[in-house]
Amino acid sequence: MPTTASVTKLQAGSGMNAGSATMKAIAVIPGQPNTMHVRDIGRPTLDQIPGGRGVLVKVLRVGVDGTDKEINAAEYGAAPPGFDYLITGHESFGRVVEVGPSVSELAVGDYVVATVRRPGSSIYDQIGTYDMTTDDLYYERGINLRHGYLSEYYLDDPEYIVKVPPGLKDVAVLLEPTTVVEKGIAQAYEIQRRLRVWRPRKAAVMGAGTIGLLAALVLRLRGLEVTVFGRTAAPYLNSDLIEELGARYESTVTSPILGESCRRHGPFDVIFEATGASSVVFESMRALAKNGVLVLSSVTGGDKTIQVPADRINLEFVLGNKVMVGTVNANREYFELGVKDMAHAESQYPGWLQRLLTHPVKGLENWKLLLDTLTTAKGAIKVYCEVAEDR
Ligand SMILES: NC(=O)c1ccc[n+]([C@@H]2O[C@H](COP(=O)([O-])OP(=O)(O)OC[C@H]3O[C@@H](n4cnc5c(N)ncnc54)[C@H](OP(=O)(O)O)[C@@H]3O)[C@@H](O)[C@H]2O)c1
Ligand SMILES: [Zn+2]
């Protein structure tokens, strides 16, 4: 755990106060839509983290997703105290270039990915499970009150930096999105210990986007029979990737979730919901097997209302001892689990992860192309910025 002093210093802006050297970063002005820009700021220096615990990382790649789009649209996101801008980017990958004298867990040259959430004050934050905070105010690098990683360098405490083996360097930018899935699935298995003996066989993943694909991968690595539901008609890249895992893809346009495919391939012992469509949650509840567990991950910011067969859903949940659980963010434990699963994936399905990296954009100065690609590119699975070459 970092010292209180180091947390306090990090809370003052994640080490982004002006040092003597400068660097480029992509930032937004929170509260004002469409303000993404590139700016020169001070490069962080090790002494900004007390106790000799600083780790300076050269950023190589940063992935972007809907969160970055929504922050640029000023739907949420706040600047760190003392700043009027927020450096964006939460899906990082980089290489350690400098460590403080009291850092023994990382060395110069290590490939690393940083976690996103930083501790608040609840009991969960204090024991390292800051992804389970009960605080209303949360701290997330690149999202809320802490600068992110779309910059040439970042500084942090080793507590929040996870080492990645060199064999994963070409795909490690996918680790942060993978942790969302790792947490959801680990929580599902943890909850199911209630059953003393739980032998899940059939899983469904709702959504075949980046998160759905990674959920399908992790569930296949656990040995489950997996059916993934999306809207687009097969074949397309995502359905091909799903089939390469030995999983099945169904388009809900021709094959509704509660239709023939659920009768044939379900009901499902585990369902991971990642469509972004809250209506799918209620269909998922009905496709869940007795004693099953449904993991919800879609962040639905709208105010949609729908009609559901409430009595039936409730009755099936009660009589079937079913569980539904929400999951957000991830702590260090799930990053470490993600590293293991990505290594497992590379040996089980070589080259598969690489194929998710569909849309690279070179250089921080090309932030506009990065944003346009994120917003409009057809067939994009992961859009990411190649901030620097690895040399
Ligand atoms: N909880 C967390 O910590 C966390 C972290 C990151 C992301 N998320 C959430 O995870 C969700 C998925 O993210 P993503 O990046 O994978 O999104 P994405 O790339 O937009 O993928 C969404 C997928 O869901 C499918 N879909 C959408 N509406 C559907 C419907 N009504 N019925 C069936 N399929 C539907 C889409 O199909 P088509 O493309 O064929 O239309 C697509 O395959 C988002 O809601 C995001 O907020 C949560
Ligand atoms: Zn993300």
280 lines ligand 1 (CB under 6 A): yes
Q: Do residues 249 and 234 touch, judged by C-beta distance below 8 A?
A: yes
- Atom of ligand 1 minimally distant from the CA of 230: 34
276 lines ligand 1 (CB under 6 A): yes
- Atom of ligand 1 minimally distant from the CA of 208: 43
Ligand 1: which residue has its CA nearest to atom 43? 208
Question: What average pLDDT is seen over the chain?
Answer: 94
Write out 49-110 in H/E/C secondary structure.
CHHHCCEEEEEEEEEECHHHHHHHCCCCCECCCCCCCEECCCEEEEEEEEECCCCCCCCCCC
pLDDT of residue 261: 86
Ligand 1: which residue has its CA nearest to atom 41? 231
Contacts of 265 (CB under 8 A, 6+ apart): 202, 204, 225, 227, 248
Question: What spacing in Å lies between the alpha carbon of 382 and ligand 2's midpoint?
Answer: 10
pLDDT at 10 over 70: no
- State the pLDDT confidence band at 7, using cuts at 50, 70 and 90: very low
331 lines ligand 1 (CB under 6 A): no
184 lines ligand 1 (CB under 6 A): no
Find the mean pLDDT for residues 77-94: 97
Which ligand sits nearest to residue 273's alpha carbon? 1
Say how many CA atoms lie within 13 Å of 288 toward its Cβ: 32
Say how many CA atoms lie within 13 Å of 183 toward its Cβ: 24
- Atom of ligand 1 minimally distant from the CA of 210: 16
Which ligand sits nearest to residue 206's alpha carbon? 1
Ligand 1: which residue has its CA nearest to atom 23? 207
pLDDT of residue 16: 52
Burial (0-12, 13-18, 19+ Cβ within 10 Å), 63: buried
Question: What spacing in Å lies between the alpha carbon of 155 and ligand 2's midpoint?
Answer: 20
Q: Do residues 71 and 86 touch, judged by C-beta distance below 8 A?
A: yes
Radius of gyration of the chain (CA): 21
Please report the domains of the chain, with CATH numbers, ordered by start residue.
4-171+357-386 (3.90.180.10), 178-326 (3.40.50.720)
Distances in whole angstroms, Cα of residue 162 to Cα of each of 46, 72, 326, 384: 18, 27, 25, 20
Spatial CA neighbour of 295 closest among 142, 371, 380, 185? 185
The DSSP call for residue 27 is: E
- State the pLDDT confidence band at 13, using cuts at 50, 70 and 90: very low
- Residue 362 phi, psi (nearest 5): -85, 130
Q: Do residues 79 and 35 touch, judged by C-beta distance below 8 A?
A: no
Look at 389 and 8; give whichever has higher pLDDT: 389
Question: What spacing in Å lies between the alpha carbon of 365 and ligand 2's midpoint?
Answer: 21
The DSSP call for residue 209 is: S
Assigned token pair, 4: 């209180």
Burial (0-12, 13-18, 19+ Cβ within 10 Å), 271: buried
Q: For the whole prediction, is pTM greater than 0.75?
A: yes
Phi-psi map region of 361: left, alpha, beta (phi>0 left; psi -120 to 50 alpha): beta
**Cα–Cα distance for residue pair 56/48, rounded to 1 Å:** 10
Contacts of 164 (CB under 8 A, 6+ apart): 93, 111, 112, 113, 172, 175, 339
pLDDT of residue 325: 98
299 lines ligand 1 (CB under 6 A): yes
Q: Could you read off the pLDDT of 142-184 as tens digits, one per residue?
A: 999 999 999 999 999 999 999 999 999 999 999 999 999 999 9
**Cα–Cα distance for residue pair 27/33, rounded to 1 Å:** 12
Count of residues for the chain?
391
